[in-house]
Structure 1
């Protein structure tokens, strides 16, 4: 079984980047976690987040 939603986080810094996905139970939780992840953004990095529907 796959989570109903996935939080996709793209972290871009200088010439590099990394990406991760985190399973979430609800869209509301996903959106709240996305806001918290964006708070980690700094002067030398960008963080992009997106909540997507997973397979059920």
Structure 2
């Protein structure tokens, strides 16, 4: 198991990077229908801000 920790100053793009990495590793389930994306990869996103949690949930396709 590999754990990757991303740490930088505010505004450096950590959340955007996390969203990009999660979406790149997601696999579409179904055949072009409204089925959700799934992944065999697991992600833990740690933040003290609810706004960042909402951002991750909205941008994760």
TM range (shorter): 0.3 to 0.5
**Larger RCO (alpha carbons 8 Å, 6+ apart):** 1
TM-score, normalised via structure 2 length: 0.38
